[in-house]
Amino acid sequence: MSAHAERHGPPIANRSSRIEPTVLGMFLFIASEAMLFGAFFTAYFFIRVVNPEAQSWPLEPFHLPVFVAGVNTLVLLTSSFTMHWALQSIKRGNRAGLKAGLLLTFLMGLAFLLTQMLEYARIGFNPADGAFGTIFFGLTGLHGAHVFVGLTLLAVATVRAFRGHFTPEHHHGVEIPGIYWHFVDVMWIVVYTTIYLL
Amino acid sequence: MARNPFRSEAEAYRFLLLTVGYFALIVAAAAIATWLGLAVFVVLTALALALWLRSRSNEPALRPAVPPRPGAEDERRILVIANETVGGPELLSILRQKAEGVKEHVLVVCPALNSAVRHWASDEDGARAAAQERLETSLGRLRGYGVDVSGEVGDGDPLQAMEDALRTFGADEIVISTHPVGRSNWLERNVVGAARERFDIPITHVVVDLDAAP
């Protein structure tokens, strides 16, 4: 072996087995997401706190379509159920269940996103209409961006499922989008409860 | 270690259902009265924290996988965990005793002790360099006594360092060297007791009083 074959670059990073890199990666991802949403929630609660005289929330003239958003929430929650069903199906070797579950999840996710876009078009205010408008569109838009990413992952998983990929032993490509999709749902529960209900 | 609720799809789904239940109760209570919603929020959050802490304490200690013993049958393989006391006379004396009359191989592991802030900032270079320096001094002394010894710098957590070393070294016994009671952080944290609970091989505890050394 020639001298040129020696390793160059920085030394190999020290790695303890205290925590697996994949688990650490997921922790860091969740922590960064928590901080991202946390920044928006901090701004939201700030404008609520500085308006203590408000008898109802949101302040006039803002009105939120609580019912439509509630139905949309149910659609998203149901999509989590179908996602779970899809993964349980492939674990049992049920390919039809996998395909149906993924397709339904994708369609319901798409319906959620489209409904949110319709809500934006008809809500009667825009991001430039004061602090509440900015935070409302910021928070729900941030979540919508996450739904879009989730839909992209789901689309890939769905196409792969219909092309015959995944087996009861190998279904990592469904598991990871599933985890992400549930995470997106958890965040929506927090957003919906905080902004629309409380 | 906190259990990651997003470790698998099934766990993430369960976490989602719990989140739905948590917020549903808060919203229902807040619909009755704002202060009731706040009270339910506080109670549920405290309950969730208590359950989480309880589940952590109930988690069984991880048992290390026992690798095939790499040495010869008649060889005595000793794993030594020591940090500041790594060159202490009591430890050297014990190792010499254990090495008498047998074919021994000693692995000395020096945990790279670090502050919590530096650990989380991944600033381990200084701690590892200091541990390496102590280790080399100790190895030199042991080799001077004719002990077949090798060494490595380990994880800052002594239990983790032992577990890491056992996975590749396959020791017949462990020797843990600490400062005397009152001056030893490891004794304060019951490292010796925890190691005896976790590892199914004989463990010898050696107290090294560096202040009493000539």
Render A125-146 in DSSP notation, one character per residue: --TTSHHHHHHHHHHHHHHHHH
Render pLDDT for B141-167 as a digit per residue (tens, 0 to 9): 888 877 888 999 988 888 988 988 888
Shortest CA gap B97–chain A (Å): 32
Query: Measured between CB atoms, which of A178, A189, A193 is closest to B12?
Result: A178
Is pLDDT of A84 > 90? Answer: yes
In a domain, A74, yes or no: yes
Q: Is B10 on the interface with A (CB under 8 A)?
A: yes
Pick the residue of B1, B3, B11, B13 with the most A CBs within 10 A to test the interface with A by mutation: B13
Residues of B in contact with A26 (CB under 8 A): 4, 6-7
**Mind listing the pLDDT tens digit for each residue in B170-208?**
888 999 999 888 888 888 888 999 998 888 889 999 998
Share of chain B above pLDDT 90, in %: 20
Contact B4 A14 (CB under 8 A): no
State both tokens at A197. Answer: 């209900």
* pLDDT at A25 exceeding the cut of 50: yes
Q: Is residue B146 part of a domain?
A: yes
Task: Mention every residue, 6+ apart, whose C-beta is less than 8 A from residue A194.
Answer: A41, A44
Q: Quick check: is A10 in a domain? A: no
Distance CA B108, CA B120 (A): 26
- Looking at the fold, whether B165 and B108 belong to one and the same domain comes out as yes
pLDDT at residue B69 in the model? 62
The H or E element containing residue B103 is strand B103-111
Give B8's strand partners. none
- Decide: A102 and A154 in contact? Cβ < 8 Å: yes
| Helix (H) or strand (E) segment spanning residue B178 | strand B173-178
CB-CB neighbors (< 8 A) of A183 in chain B? 6, 12
Set of chain A residues whose Cβ sits within 8 Å of the Cβ of B27: 193, 197-198
Give me the residue label for tokens 């996602």.
A83
CB-side exposure of A20: number of CA atoms within 13 Å?
A: 6
Interface contact B20-A189, CB threshold 8 A = yes
Predicted confidence at residue B91, as pLDDT, reads 85
Task: Verify that B90 and B151 share a domain, yes or no.
Answer: yes
Rounded to a whole number, what is the distance in Å from the CA of B154 to chain A's nearest CA? 8
Residue B68 maps to a domain: no
A197: contact with B, CB 8 A cutoff: yes
Q: Is the separation of the CB atoms in B62 and B162 below 8 Å?
A: no
* Residues in A touching B37 (Cβ below 8 Å): 198
What pLDDT does residue B211 have? 75
Q: B13 touching A, CB under 8 A?
A: yes
Closest CA to A58 of A154, A110, A134, A167: A134
Q: How many domains does chain A have?
A: 1
Domain assignment present for residue A1? The answer is: no
Which residues, numbered 67 to 126 in chain A, qualify as contacts with chain B under a Cβ-Cβ cut-off of 8 Å?
77, 80, 83-84, 87
**Mean pLDDT over residues B57-64, rounded?**
58
**B71 with B125: CB under 8 angstroms?**
no
Checking if the pLDDT of B213 tops 70, the result is no
Asked if B37 and A14 come within 8 Å (Cβ–Cβ), the reply is no
User: CA dist A86 to A24, A110, A193, Å?
Assistant: 27, 17, 27
In a domain, A6, yes or no: no
Q: Mean pLDDT for chain A?
A: 86
Does pLDDT of A188 surpass 90? yes
Q: Is residue B63 part of a domain?
A: no
Q: What's the mean pLDDT in B53-63?
A: 65
Give the pLDDT of residue B185: 85
- Please answer yes or no on whether A193 and B23 come within 8 Å at the CB atom: yes
Nearest by CB: A193 against B13, B27, B128: B27
Full domain range(s) for residue A181: 18-197
Full domain range(s) for residue B149: 75-212
Beta bridge partners of B153: B110
Whether residue B123 is found in the same domain as residue B170? yes
How many structural domains does chain B have? Answer: 2
Q: What is the ipTM of this complex?
A: 0.82
Residues of B (144-163) whose Cβ lies below 8 Å from A: 155, 157, 160, 163
* Average pLDDT of the residues in B83-89: 79
Q: Same domain for B84 and B53?
A: no
State residue A1's pLDDT score: 40
A13, part of any domain:
no
Q: What gap in Å lies between CA A180 and CA A145, rounded to an integer?
A: 13
Local confidence band at B1 (pLDDT 50, 70, 90 cut-offs): very low
In a domain, B163, yes or no: yes
Q: Name the more confident of A137 and A52.
A: A137
Would residue A8 count as lying in a domain?
A: no
Minimum distance, in Å, between the CA of residue A179 and any CA atom of chain B: 5
User: Which pLDDT value is given to residue A22?
Assistant: 64
Check B27 against A198: CB less than 8 A apart.
yes
Q: Are residues B140 and B185 in the same domain?
A: yes
Q: What is the mean pLDDT of residues A9-16?
A: 56
Determine the pLDDT at residue A80.
95
Residue B93: its pLDDT value, please? 84
Q: Is A153 on the interface with B (CB under 8 A)?
A: no
Question: In this predicted structure, what is the pLDDT of residue A5?
Answer: 45
**How large is the average pLDDT for residues B89-105?**
82
Question: Domain of B126: which CATH number?
Answer: 3.40.50.620
- Domain containing A124 — which CATH number? 1.20.120.80
Which has more confidence, B181 or A154?
Answer: A154
Do residue A174 and residue B9 have CB atoms under 8 angstroms apart? yes
Average pLDDT over residues A88-107: 94
Of all residues in chain A, what percent carry a pLDDT higher than 90?
57
The pLDDT, as a whole number, for residue A152 is 95
**A198 and chain B in contact, CB less than 8 A:** yes
Q: 0.80 exceeded by the pTM? A: no
Whether residue B13 and residue A80 make contact (CB cut-off 8 A), yes or no, is: yes
- Residue at B117 is within a domain: yes
Residue B111 sits in the same domain as residue B185: yes
